[in-house]
Amino acid sequence: MTKTIFGRKLLMLATITVLVTGLTLTTTLDDAEAKKVKNTDVSVWDSDVSINPITGIFPIGGSGQIAGNFAVETKDKKDTTIQVGLRAQDRFDGPIEPIKDVYIVPTGESTPGLRAWNFDFSIDSGTEFLETQLGKDLSTSNLEDFDVVLEIKDAEKNKFKLDFDLGGINANPVGPIILSQQSWNIGFGFLDIPVDSEAYKISLSVLEDDGKKGKKVAKSKITVLVTDQVPEDGKLDICHKEKTKSVSVKSVAKHIEKHGDTIGPCTE
């Protein structure tokens, strides 16, 4: 099952953006420096940061949001610095410590129809927070000039793709969009993919908007394993061909997809 949705009207209610006017900054992040900051935490993720309509700062909303444990890629493109971050979090206990880029999340529902975990994303193209993180001035970019693509694939090979223009999801943009953050649940209706898989691969890409197949500017990707089993030495038990086998968490999703294995020991 493959779905592609251009859901601008729908996303208008679901995405938080940052708008900024009259801001001119300098210098860029070169390739060597970009490599150093890959997989660091995102520049800001804090529900206590106040919205500032003057500077256009609109950080993640809601209460109890905690920073940390994102899988991040930060790259430059000419005079552009783009940071993309993804993570999974327990809806009750907050951020989950990943094993590399694999997040192990709890089973079950948090409320009827919603799973017990969320996935969070952040796209930053030159905020003051990113400047502080990198320790330098940056040239800001308008995220409206890029395409953003969210892709989700479950272990049963169901696929969902959401290709959206950040400029079309804010009711009244008054300037360049330089930050977009949100926390979504796999049970949200517009994410048209089954909610009962044991494994998901999620990616978020920022692409050049050139009217064709855009070139990737920055991308973050994670694997989410849905199980209450606690890994030992970076491994989980799976049932492989009617035999219990201990494998690395990195290979679990591949085992499920390729062999039809299940997470957990075999049962008679």
Q: For the chain, which residues make up each domain, given as ranges?
A: 2-228, 231-268
**Rounded Cα distance, 185 and 258, in Å:** 26
Instruction: Record the pTM.
Output: 0.83
| Token pair for 163 | 């290709």
Q: What's the CA angle centered on 66, arms 176 and 48, to 5 degrees?
A: 60
**Rounded Cα distance, 125 and 74, in Å:** 9
Q: Is 166 helix (H, G, I), strand (E, B) or coil?
A: helix
How confident is the model at residue 128, as a pLDDT? 85
Cα torsion through 34, 38, 40, 41, rounded to 10: 90
How confident is the model at residue 174, as a pLDDT? 62
How far from the centroid of its chain's Cα atoms is residue 178's Cα?
16
How confident is the model at residue 14, as a pLDDT? 38
Which helix or strand (DSSP H or E) is residue 253 part of?
A: helix 249-259
Q: Which sign, positive or negative, has the C-alpha torsion 61, 65, 70, 72?
A: positive
User: Who contacts 177 (Cβ-Cβ below 8 Å, separation ≥6)?
Assistant: 17, 18, 19, 125, 142, 143, 144, 166, 167, 170
Q: Does domain 2-228 have CATH number 2.60.40.2550?
A: yes
Strands 177-185 and 216-226: unpaired
Burial readout 246-260 (b: 16 or more C-beta within 10 A, e: otherwise): ebebeebbebbbeee
What are the pLDDT tens digits along the chain (268 aa)? 444 333 333 333 334 343 443 333 333 445 555 555 567 899 999 878 666 555 555 667 667 788 999 999 998 767 889 999 999 999 988 899 999 999 999 999 999 999 999 999 999 988 889 999 988 888 888 888 888 999 999 999 999 999 876 655 444 446 677 888 888 999 999 899 999 999 999 999 999 876 666 788 999 999 999 999 999 999 999 999 999 999 999 999 999 999 999 999 998 7
How confident is the model at residue 51, as a pLDDT? 61
How confident is the model at residue 254, as a pLDDT? 93
User: Who contacts 240 (Cβ-Cβ below 8 Å, separation ≥6)?
Assistant: 247, 255, 259, 261
* Contact predicate 186/150, CB 8 Å: no
* Contact predicate 115/187, CB 8 Å: yes
Q: What's the CA angle centered on 142, arms 139 and 146, to 5 degrees?
A: 120
